[in-house]
Amino acid sequence: MIKILSLLGLTSVAVFATTTAHAEGAAVDLATTPFGWLLLAIFVIGYYFIAAEEKYHINKAKPALFTGTFLFMLLGAYYAYNGLDFSAFDNEIAHLILEIAEIFFFLFVAMTFIEALIERNVFDALKEKLLKAGYNYKKLFWVTGILAFFISPIADNLTTALILSTVLITIEKENKAFLVPAAINIVVAANAGGAWSPFGDITTLMAWSAGKGAFIDFLFLFPASIIGWAVTAFLLSKFVPDGHPKKIEGAEPVDIHRGGKVIIFLGVFTIACAVLGKQIMHLPPMWGMLFGLSLLQLYAYTLKKYHDHDIEIYKSVSKIENDTLLFFFGILAAVGALHFAGFLGHAVKLYTMFEPTTVNIGVGFLSAIVDNVPVMSAVLKASPDIPLAQWMLVTLTAGVGGSMISFGSAAGVGVMGKLKGVYTFGSHMKLSWTIVIGYFVSVAVWYTQYEVLGLYIKP
């Protein structure tokens, strides 16, 4: 490894010796050097193993964490070997840690609330109501889709998709003619619902945390999100068979445990604290979330002390999907390394070569192939000089575009895991044309709001 760094370092230094563009203390542009190509190759290999999670049976957090940390280790070694100024490197690391911490703690609190609600039987009670409602396949298709669209803005798209896909497989285990379009509908609805909420998807959370739009700006995406999903759902519903699922006899009634409804209220209040804290008090969203977590812990204490009923908040914390958090750390670090190496500085030129609308529509298709999180992270790191309307468009396209391929979003990957052998890449692609139509409908609605109604335009 030392020999490789030596060779690549000497070659890169020779390249930069011929230019005067590099100012003292600024980051070195490595995108056109052999060392930079090595970094890009490692990123591509790492991302291959992330995308091929099902093939190699390796949790995607492992290659993501390795890739993100290893790239910066190489960058640090490169700077040390060549005696370069570490000022820019230190600033990049500090900024990256802050960025990741804000997202990490926000998700940590959100996941804790979800686990607490699961422990209080809130979602089991919802599942039981759907099981006993006696809906036919078509009604069940629409009910689960509507629930996915309106729960995901609060609970996040991955959690919502996992919960409702569990409901599907509980109600019907064999009828693939129903399960496949219903599963696709849940994925599309969860992603579309998350696209108009600053905390409904990791991509919108990243854009909101980066200050690319105020809370209310994201709400303007509601019409584009719901109309695009509704069009796709209407087309998918044509493939849902008639008939009813078999009734489950003898199921025990499920009640919400003591404190469950209070936790729902605390969850909504926590989200309000995150929003008001950022918009009025200039606090990062995670601050309001952590304040809400403190209220949840205090409530758990009073419930145990005065009602002898233990919510076991710390047990809820222990059930958090740490792999998900580590995946986001790794992928954000990897994209940060490419940004520091100069690759995104070259990629941002696309916004000057083409119309921003065209580029942002392309971002949606790229997010379906690569996954929307690293794509959105790359756009934010590149930080093109585009107006608010375009930032809302790229948030929309990155969010809903991931639905076009089954592994293009966390929601899709999660449902594939729940409905193994039923909801697959192949079964999804057979109906993906319905999602593409809905995608362009969403963009058309955005265009109407922007061009015709003049929304998003600020003095």
**CA 15 to chain centroid:** 38
The answer to whether 400 and 225 are in contact (CB under 8 A) is yes
CA gap 89, 277 in Å, rounded: 31
What confidence score (pLDDT) does residue 249 get? 58
34-51 and 61-81 helices, crossing angle to 10°:
170
What confidence score (pLDDT) does residue 2 get? 42
Rg (alpha carbons) of the chain, rounded to whole number = 23
Provide the whole-model pTM. 0.73
What confidence score (pLDDT) does residue 449 get? 87
DSSP characters over 15-28: HHTT-S---TTSPP
Enumerate residue ranges in the chain where pLDDT < 70. 1-25, 54, 247-252, 307-321, 370, 455-459
Segment 366-423, tens digit of pLDDT: 888 767 777 888 888 888 888 888 999 999 998 899 899 877 777 887 787 778 778 8
Segment 5-22, tens digit of pLDDT: 444 444 444 344 333 334
DSSP state of 5: H
87-119 and 122-132 helices, crossing angle to 10°:
50
CA gap 247, 200 in Å, rounded: 33
